[in-house]
């Protein structure tokens, strides 16, 4: 039976709180120790670089996917187990998602939100049932949780939309939730 793969969406910047880098590093190391392959955006900067380096240092497999136009900007990490360069962002997202069994979202910006909402939309449309976990480091995702609640309360999504993702307080809790979901 092949090992499970976990797609991690996260910032290409480190963010303003050192806890973000610490959680990304912990997540990468624990994915590797759990025998799961990291699938991510192939950058060597910000939280992306932290999660990948930690997974590599712990002996884990890494699968990075990056569009050609971001290779220089996000510093494409070519020493991964598998490194794929795509033509477009759309291709990147598709390849990442199709090669994973679960999604974990660390703190990040517009790109991470884009990736998150695309997989939530696909779930809403019945295109997958993969677990989606948001690592709520230092309460980072609390405003998003309120926004999604607002969307449901205003009638733009069913109540079930709230069940398409889970907030976990940190990387340790994400690993525990993944163990249960991927068993």
Q: Which domains does the chain have, with CATH numbers?
A: 5-181 (3.40.50.450)
Q: Does 2 score more than 80 pLDDT? A: no
Check: CB of residue 171 under 8 Å from CB of residue 26.
Answer: yes
Question: What pLDDT is recorded for position 1?
Answer: 47
CA 47/CA 86 separation, integer angstroms: 21
CA 44/CA 52 separation, integer angstroms: 8
What are the structure tokens assigned to 137, written together? 């480091």
Question: What pLDDT is recorded for position 3?
Answer: 86
List the helix and strand counts (H, then E) for the chain. Answer: 6, 7
Check: CB of residue 5 under 8 Å from CB of residue 32.
Answer: no
How do residues 39-54 score in pLDDT, each as one tens digit?
Answer: 999 999 999 999 999 9
Tokens 């969406």 — which residue? 9
Mean pLDDT of the chain: 96
């Amino acid at each position: 039976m092949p090992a499970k793969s976990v797609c991690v969406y996260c910032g290409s910047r480190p963010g303003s709180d050192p806890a973000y880098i610490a959680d990304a590093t912990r997540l990468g190391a624990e994915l590797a120790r759990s025998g799961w392959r990291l699938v991510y955006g192939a950058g060597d900067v910000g939280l992306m670089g932290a999660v990948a380096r930690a997974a590599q240092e712990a002996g884990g497999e890494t699968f990075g996917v990056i569009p050609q136009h971001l290779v220089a900007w996000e510093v494409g990490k070519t020493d991964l187990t598998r490194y794929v360069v795509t033509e477009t962002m759309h291709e990147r997202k598709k390849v990442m998602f199709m090669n994973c069994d679960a999604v974990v979202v660390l703190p990040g910006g517009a790109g991470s939100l884009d990736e998150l909402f695309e997989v939530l939309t696909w779930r809403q449309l019945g295109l997958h049932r993969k677990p989606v976990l948001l690592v709520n480091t230092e309460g980072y995702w609390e405003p998003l949780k309120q926004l999604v609640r607002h969307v449901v309360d205003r009638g733009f999504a069913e109540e079930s939309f709230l069940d398409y993702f889970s907030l976990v307080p940190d990387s340790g809790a994400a690993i525990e939730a993944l163990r249960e979901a991927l068993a």
